Amino acid sequence: MTAQNTQWDRGGRRLGRAMIALPALILALLIFGPLIYSIVLSLYKWQLTDINSGKPFVGFANYVHLFTDPQVLNAVGNTLIYVVGSVGTELILGFVIASALFEMTKGRKLANSLILLPMIIAPVITALIWRYMLDPQFGLVAQVLSVFGFKGGISFFGTSQLALPSLILVDVWQWTPFVILILHAGMLGISEEQFEAARIDGAGRWRILRSIVLPGIAPQILLVLLFRTMDTYRIFDTVFVLTRGGPGTSTETIGLYTYQTGFSFFDMGYAMTLGVFILITVAIISSFYIRLLRRREVFQ
Amino acid sequence: MFATQHGGRRTVLTVAALSISALLLTSCSSSGGTTTGANPDAKPKTADGPYGKFPGEKLTLSRWAGDPWTAGQQTAATAWNASTGGNLTLAPVPYENLHDKQALTLSSGSDYDIVYVHPSWFGEFAKAGYLAPIDKYLSDPKRNPPGFSAASYQESVLKQGNYDGTQYCLPDFVSTIVVGYRTDLFQAAGLSAPKTVDDIIADAKALNGKDGASGIVMPGKATGAVSDVFSSLLTAQDNWWYDASGTKSTLDTTAATNALNFYTSAAKYAPTGLLNMAVDDAATVAAQGKAAIVVDTTPSLSALEDTSKSKTVGKWAYVPLAFTADKPGGELIYWNWCISAKSKNKDAAYSFLQFYTDTAQQAKVALAASTLGATKSFYTDKAVTSKLPFLPAVNAALSNSNPQPSLATWPKIQTAIEVAVQDAIQGKKTTAQAVAAMQDALKGLTG
Amino acid sequence: MSANDVGYVRRKPRRDAWVVGCYIVIGVFLLFVLVPVLTVLVNSFKTPSAIFTSTPQLTFTPTIANYAKVFGELNFLQYLVNSLFVGVGSTALSLVLGVPFAYALARLPIRGREWWARIILFSRMVPAVALVVPMFVLFQQLQLTGSYAALILAHTTFNLPIVIWMMRSFFEELPPELEEAALVDGASRFGAFWRIAVPLASPGMAATAVLCLIFSWNEFLFALVLSGQDTQTVPVGVSSFIGSVSIDWGGSSAAAIVAIIPIFILGLAAQRFLVRGLTFGGVKG
């Protein structure tokens, strides 16, 4: 906004400072304080139970370990597959469903409400739901398959080939609704004139989708990409309940490895190092998206 | 650095006269008047109940949530409260997070009085000074029922709660890995009870696919149970992961190869999804009539005999794991009850622990949840023992046992071992490679 | 009026193959979404042996034992109340702190605007695993562990960045002329924010609040580590059914349903705000 008057400007600056001060303090105290503490801790060898006693300072030893730890490489690889698989599927499926919703005239509100259901379910519940659904002996999928005469059952979480895709399926189930919500809202925000103009030009539906809707919701697409990437990159809770990283290490994600290092192996110093690693890598990925977001005019 | 303690291999366990089966014969004379079931009228009533009066004293007990034990312990706490005037409340948290919650709480002034401590973190808690010694309570006649003392517990189990010569904890939750098999299916196929792991594999092969059941099921998910089974298989061959110092690997390649071969052979006759089965999943498969043989921990196997969960009640018989006939073995699974060093009501806390780990209470636990007590008289209590069909198999297995590892370094090694087993089953590693991976993981013993 | 209403009227209902296809796609997706939840709902009325069966059982004798356990043995009501306190508390705190911050970022001449925005986004990226133990130590110093305040503050760490991020876009989408007019009429800067911008952005605030409530309701790690016995929230309560050797499938299903219902009702009630609020432009980044 353009400030026409220096007095306003001064008042605005003062108000701005006042409005920023307290939240900034809270953020500093609650996020950056603990974050700095955990960065400091990553320089120590610290067993969780020895919380009060000696933490030997080891400098960058944990970081050296990080870059020579084959499990980190494996975990990052699994995580990238998980991120690309989940976010990609969610985006495509979300776009299809949101476009379909957009065409609906009757029952849209009801469909919209029901579609949101998975998003409001806690991850631990989601994991329990899918552990039951995909159980090779007693799960609903196995029961339905047996009705069609397929008795063997499919081991969704019990083989290396299927475990990671099955985890992606769970993520898609839980988070596609969020993508739909945002993309659908974006479509509703596109002005009617644009549609009218396209129709007058005799544009078909595919064409409208491609040249009006898709560019119209480009900011929303990037936003969804950003938030879903950030969240899938550090996934651990559903993976922990469903596979624990197995079979073997085929579903061990970097978030799970960090969690287990800290809370199962008690090696807090190294867990903090892994946490810092997650933060830095996710920040790099995000800054790439943000640059795209910034240039969103390009899409329009 | 944490490995200086008590987690070492009990090489002389077999000769250490206190094997559980031997106790069945000797405990009556050695432990005075503490037996309960055998002859209830011969001793004062107080021997059964909680000891002492603690009006208004508040106690908080940290344990995991869920399972039959938590509900049972709530009942026990209510009884103890009514009898002593104390006020004990349970503070259960999800099982997977028990250690973190306890470690953080105890490190910071603590509002826990009683903590349920797993072997893998007992040493650390004791070393960090979070736990209160209980030697003087155990030896104080005023704090215990008549005739009750440290000698009332199985020595081999009680000493797991000892750190550097000081006793900190009272044990319970005694269990091990045993083999259950379907007597009806075995009979129909003309098979006799499996005596060795080779028998088990042969029987599993013969019965696989019969009557809609797989040959065998066991835990395959990396939750600790795979390692429990593997530990039992090693023990049955007189081998163990590490030496008495807990810092040096003693894993024998032949023994590990045999154990791994058992696992990979069995996996061929196991139902789909083996590698994602925790102890309860394996037991459920068996209980639903989908496996002829099951290898699992006793608390999970209780599902087989539970009419609300099982379609095969009464069809099971149990044997210990053995490589050569009549030479069984098993990993001693147990938990420790300890008092927080910062507790303000330690006397009351001890009273509850004594009450809870003593025979009368453990008999109730055993019937509800199929873990065993750690007192000698528990094993002579016919009212209980007659109702636990797998008890003879457990006793036989634990006559040659190694305690569950109690090293701070263990959880990480354990995960690596379980991953190696899974990789071998999936054919991603040869047996030799998987054994090598275990040897490699054991280098982590030095911390 | 709102963009949402526009959306409903702008296209005449046409029943061609394309539209029919859309309904089919939505129908299939709804099945995918709803069947797992309905399965849990059905299981919550089953005994353990009826849940674990390899052939579908369409008829069974329903039991309310699982719900009795949830509300009796486990006292789930306490978990619900705790979740409500923490959710409402952290949402309110995040809005009170975040809305002015967002406004300042969007409208006021402050120094380092882009840096602030970047810091906010960065703070959303910190993994909870790295925060939770240091935060425990901090709250221990402040003698806050186990209190509602600890959980509210902890949940504010992930809700505050969301509020700021979303509300900043809402304020940026508002036409500045209204506030400028108010300033010309003699209103203070704060008056323009409080009396003009905030009411105009209220649908966005409602949408943001709903999202915050959902995130708080489902959060597990902070809720576990920082809570005391009396302040544990719903996800921790549901986890209590996963024991060391067994999962109580009936009990956990009933607990899951109990946990879903309040937030689902909220979602239904707020549906209008959610769509309208987000449409309003709040998510344009």
| B7 has a pLDDT exceeding 90 | no
What's the pLDDT at A6? 56
Rounded Cα distance between C19 and A106, Å, is 11
Rounded Cα distance between B168 and B6, Å, is 13
Q: Is A219 on the interface with C (CB under 8 A)?
A: yes
Of all residues in chain C, the one with the smallest CA distance to B70 is: C243
Q: Helix, strand, or coil here: B115?
A: strand
Which chains share 3+ C-beta pairs under 8 angstroms with A? Answer: B, C
Q: Positive or negative, the Cα torsion across C55, C56, C60, C65? A: positive
CA angle, residues B345, B350, B352, in degrees to nearest 5: 100
User: Domain coordinates of chain A in residue numbers?
Assistant: 60-299
What's the pLDDT at B160? 93
Residues of B in contact with A270 (CB under 8 A): none
b/e sequence A122-133, b meaning 16+ C-beta within 10 Å: bbbbbbbbbbbb
What's the pLDDT at C174? 86
Rounded Cα distance between C283 and C285, Å, is 5
Q: Is A155 on the interface with B (CB under 8 A)?
A: yes
CB contact under 8 A, A264 and B415: yes
CB atoms within 10 A of CB C34: 15
Rounded Cα distance between B300 and B286, Å, is 11
Rounded Cα distance between C75 and B206, Å, is 49
Mean local confidence (pLDDT), B372-384: 89
Q: Is B118 on the interface with A (CB under 8 A)?
A: no
CB contact under 8 A, C3 and A19: no
Whole-complex ipTM: 0.88
Question: In this predicted model, which residue has the larger pLDDT, B22 or C273?
Answer: C273
Question: In this predicted model, which residue has the larger pLDDT, B3 or B364?
Answer: B364
What's the pLDDT at C279? 67
Q: Out of A142-151, A174-183, A248-257, B87-96, which region has the weakest mean confidence (pLDDT)?
A: A142-151
Rounded Cα distance between C155 and C136, Å, is 13
Q: Is A50 on the interface with B (CB under 8 A)?
A: yes
What's the pLDDT at A5? 53
What's the pLDDT at C94? 96
Interface test with B, best of C245, C248, C253 (most B CBs within 10 A): C245
What's the pLDDT at C280? 57
A60-299 belongs to which CATH class? mainly alpha
| A196 has a pLDDT exceeding 80 | yes
Sheet of B177-182, strand order:
B214-217, B291-297, B177-182, B316-320
Average pLDDT, chain B: 86
Rounded Cα distance between B115 and B61, Å, is 6
Q: Are strands B330-339 and B169-175 parallel, antiparallel or unpaired?
A: antiparallel
Rounded to the nearest angstrom, the gap between the alpha carbon of residue C179 and the centroid of all alpha carbons in its chain is 31
Rounded Cα distance between C101 and A15, Å, is 10
Rounded Cα distance between C149 and B311, Å, is 49
Q: Is A201 on the interface with C (CB under 8 A)?
A: no
What's the pLDDT at B306? 87
Under the banding of pLDDT at 50, 70 and 90, the label for residue B37 is: very low
Mean per-residue pLDDT pooled into runs of 10, chain C (285 residues): 41 70 94 94 88 74 90 88 96 96 91 87 89 88 90 95 89 87 88 91 89 92 90 92 86 94 87 72 48
CB contact under 8 A, C122 and A38: no
Q: Out of A26-30, A204-208, A283-287, B3-7, which region has the weakest mean confidence (pLDDT)?
A: B3-7
B13-175+333-402 belongs to which CATH class? alpha beta
User: Domain coordinates of chain B in residue numbers?
Assistant: 13-175+333-402, 177-331+407-446
What's the pLDDT at B104? 85
CB contact under 8 A, C275 and A31: no
* Count of residues making up chain C: 285
What's the pLDDT at A106? 84
What's the pLDDT at A105? 81
Distant-in-sequence, close-in-space partners of B318: CB < 8 Å, separation ≥ 6: B178, B179, B180, B181, B301, B389, B390, B392, B393
What's the pLDDT at A95? 96
Under the banding of pLDDT at 50, 70 and 90, the label for residue A51 is: low
What's the pLDDT at A49? 56
Q: How far is CA B208 from CA A142, B267, B278, C216, in A?
A: 20, 11, 21, 49
Q: Which range, B123-132, B413-422, C201-210, is most confident?
A: B413-422
Of all residues in chain B, the one with the smallest CA distance to A49 is: B103
User: Domain coordinates of chain C in residue numbers?
Assistant: 67-282
Under the banding of pLDDT at 50, 70 and 90, the label for residue B31 is: very low
Q: Positive or negative, the Cα torsion across C13, C16, C20, C23? A: negative
Under the banding of pLDDT at 50, 70 and 90, the label for residue B13 is: very low
Q: Is A111 on the interface with C (CB under 8 A)?
A: yes
Domain B177-331+407-446: give its CATH code: 3.40.190.10
Interface test with A, best of C80, C93, C129, C234 (most A CBs within 10 A): C129
Task: Please give the single-letter amino acid code of residue C61.
Answer: T
Under the banding of pLDDT at 50, 70 and 90, the label for residue B16 is: very low
In 3D space, the residue among A268, A247, A266, A264 whose CA is nearest the CA of residue A256 turns out to be A264
pLDDT digits (tens, 9 = 90+) for B157-185: 999 999 989 999 999 999 999 999 999 99
Name the A residues in 64-83 with CB < 8 Å from any C CB.
Answer: none
Of all residues in chain C, the one with the smallest CA distance to A273 is: C130
Q: Positive or negative, the Cα torsion across A115, A116, A120, A126? A: positive
What's the pLDDT at B128? 83
- Does residue B61 contact residue B336 with C-beta atoms inside 8 Å? no
Which one-letter DSSP state was computed for residue B193? P
| B381 has a pLDDT exceeding 80 | yes
Mean local confidence (pLDDT), B315-331: 94
Of all residues in chain B, the one with the smallest CA distance to C226 is: B101
In 3D space, the residue among B219, B211, B232, B390 whose CA is nearest the CA of residue B291 turns out to be B211
CB contact under 8 A, C53 and A132: no
The domain C67-282 having CATH identifier 1.10.3720.10: the answer here is yes
pLDDT digits (tens, 9 = 90+) for A222-264: 888 988 999 999 999 999 989 999 899 999 999 999 999 988 8
Question: In this predicted model, which residue has the larger pLDDT, B374 or B308?
Answer: B374
What's the pLDDT at B110? 65
Q: Residue A256 belongs to what H/E stretch?
A: helix A254-263
Mean local confidence (pLDDT), B273-291: 93
Of all residues in chain B, the one with the smallest CA distance to C232 is: B93
Mean local confidence (pLDDT), B136-151: 91
In 3D space, the residue among B244, B216, B215, B210 whose CA is nearest the CA of residue B229 turns out to be B216
Partner residue opposite C214 with nearest CB, options A120, A125, A205: A120
For residue B294, what are its two tokens? Answer: 């099951």
Size of interface A-B (CB pairs under 8 A): 110
**Same fold? B13-175+333-402, B177-331+407-446:** yes
CA angle, residues A112, A115, A119, in degrees to nearest 5: 120
pTM given for the model:
0.89
Question: In this predicted model, which residue has the larger pLDDT, A3 or C15?
Answer: C15
Rounded to the nearest angstrom, the gap between the alpha carbon of residue A74 and the centroid of all alpha carbons in its chain is 20
Q: Out of A270-279, A283-292, B392-401, C62-71, which region has the weakest mean confidence (pLDDT)?
A: A283-292
What's the pLDDT at B180? 97
What's the pLDDT at C15? 62
Give backbone dihedrals phi and psi of C189, rounded to 5 degrees, phi first.
Answer: -55, -45
Rounded Cα distance between B91 and B114, Å, is 10
What's the pLDDT at A58? 86
The full DSSP string for A34-100 is: HHHHHHHHTTB--BGGGSSS---B-TTHHHHHHHH-HHHHHHHHHHHHHHHHHHHHHHHHHHHHHHH
Residues of C in contact with A241 (CB under 8 A): 242
Rounded Cα distance between B264 and C60, Å, is 39
Min Cα–Cα distance to chain B from A287, Å: 34
Question: In this predicted model, which residue has the larger pLDDT, A6 or A221?
Answer: A221
